[in-house]
Amino acid sequence: MSAHSHRRSRIIGSLAGATIALLAALGGAAPSALAAPPEPVNKYVALGDSYAAGQGAGLPLDACLRSEAAYPVLLDAVPRTNLLRQPACSGATISDVAETQLSQVNRGTTLVTITVGGNDLDVGGILQVCAPDPNSGACAAAVLQAQQLLASGVIAQDLTGLLLAIAERSPRARIIVTDYPVPFVAGLSALTDSVNQATLALDAQIAAAASAAASAGADVDATSLAFAYTGHRVGDAVPWLGADLNDPLAFLHPTTAGQAVYRDAILTVLAS
């Protein structure tokens, strides 16, 4: 065989082999090449107050009272969710989040959770003032101040502005807003019933803020925890909130079980 014929045979053989390989791949011999791409990883930042920090659910790790049982940490353990930053801090108000935590989200962020508003209403402070004497003038003043704040609608307005600011800094991010569980079994006292009603009013403002931000074009979802602790409120046999008024670190803050409820609620939204 001439050198020219030999080269021609090699070329024909190579083409035949490539054709067979291509047909085999198309016929399913190489399924990995046709597999769907993996789901993207959530690049996650957790904003908010003590509920998002995990106060009371474990040993405090820092001055913000973050704990390893906080729902952002629990979400970090879920496949394809990567908690990049958790600036959430105990005591934070809406304005605190805007001033000290907002900078932690950026154009690379694809998931943001936020729990905030409770410190603006200062439910814990009201209880501290009112528990010794619910009929005192100081208690009446604290309750009136909270009622006036709720009636003003300023919490919803401020939170709407914060959500839009998050969306502007992180245009690719899905923002999930959580609210607060009704803390007490109904009928424990007139004071605890008032706190329950104030919590529901606060949750309504949080929902209104999420709705307003979504209507303005932000990718915002709200999930309500208002009744998620039913059967496990303060006054039930096994509360998912700290029940000891004399333990300010844990009082009215989610336990480890309560933090898991937040995680599950957020996962439900993510799956929708």
We report the CATH number of the domain holding residue 97 as 3.40.50.1110
Residue type, 2: S
**Using 50, 70 and 90 to split pLDDT, how confident is the model at 7?**
very low
Same domain, 58 and 20: no
The answer to whether 203 touches 226, Cβ cutoff 8 Å, is yes
Q: What is the pLDDT of residue 200?
A: 95
Secondary structure, 3-state, the chain: CCHHHHHHHHHHHHHHHHHHHHHHHHCCCCHHHHCCCCCCCEEEEEEECHHHHCCCCCCCCCCCCCCCCCHHHHHHCCCCEEEEECCCCCCCCHHHHHHHHHHHCCCCCCEEEEECCHHHHCHHHHHHHHCCCCCCHHHHHHHHHHHHHHHHCHHHHHHHHHHHHHHHHCCCCEEEEECCCCCECCCCCHHHHHHHHHHHHHHHHHHHHHHHHHHCCCCEEEECCCCCCCCCCECECCCCEECCCCCCCCECCECHHHHHHHHHHHHHHHHC
Q: Is the pLDDT of residue 15 over 80?
A: no
If asked whether residues 10 and 101 sit together in one domain, one would say no
Question: Residue 124 — very low, low, confident or very high, per pLDDT cuts 50/70/90?
Answer: confident
Residue pair 94/158 in contact (Cβ under 8 Å)? The answer is yes
Q: How confident is the model at residue 5 (pLDDT cuts 50, 70, 90)?
A: very low
Side-chain half-sphere of 60: how many Cα atoms within 13 Å? Answer: 14
Question: Range of 6's domain?
Answer: 1-35
The single-letter code of the amino acid at 259 is: Q
pLDDT attached to residue 127:
83
pLDDT tens digits, 54-88: 999 988 999 999 999 999 999 999 999 999 999 99
pLDDT at 89 over 90: yes
* Residue 131 scores a pLDDT above 90: no
Mean pLDDT for the chain overall: 88
pLDDT band at 37 (very low <50, low <70, confident <90, very high): low
pLDDT exceeds cutoff 90 at 6: no
Do 17 and 137 lie in one domain? The reply is no
Mean pLDDT, residues 165-173 taken together: 97
Residues 131 and 238 in one domain: yes
- Is residue 196 located within the same domain as residue 152? yes
* Whether residue 129 sits in one domain with residue 87: yes
Whether 1 shows a pLDDT value over 60: the answer reads no
Question: Same domain, yes or no, for 206 and 97?
Answer: yes
Question: Residue 123: CB partners within 8 Å, gap ≥ 6?
Answer: 146, 183, 195, 198, 199, 202, 252
Distance between CA 239 and CA 261 in Å, rounded? Answer: 12
Would the pLDDT of 199 be above 50?
Answer: yes
Comparing C-alpha atoms, which of 85, 86, 103, 102 is closest to residue 94? 102
Same domain, 52 and 21: no
pLDDT band at 35 (very low <50, low <70, confident <90, very high): low
* Residue 67 and residue 89 in contact, taking contact as beta carbons nearer than 8 Å: no
Angle at which helix 137-152 crosses helix 123-130, to 10 degrees, equals 160
pLDDT at position 28, please?
47
Same domain, 95 and 23: no
Domain match, 248 and 115 both: yes
In this structure, are residues 163 and 207 in contact, taking their beta carbons and an 8 Å threshold? Answer: no
Give the residue from 47, 86, 79 showing the smallest Cα distance to 167.
47
Measured CA angle at 64 (ends 60, 70), to 5 deg: 60
Residues 168 and 59 in one domain: yes
Each residue of 205-264: pLDDT tens digit?
Answer: 999 999 999 999 999 999 999 999 999 999 999 999 999 988 989 999 999 999 999 999
Number of separate domains in the chain? 2
Residue 25 pLDDT grade (very low, low, confident, very high; cuts 50, 70, 90): very low
The proportion of the chain whose per-residue pLDDT surpasses 70, expressed as a percent, equals 86
14 vs 89 pLDDT, higher one: 89
What pLDDT, on the 0 to 100 scale, is given for residue 33? 52
Instruction: Note the pLDDT of residue 36.
Output: 60
The pLDDT confidence band at residue 4, using thresholds 50, 70 and 90, is very low
67 shares its domain with 139: yes
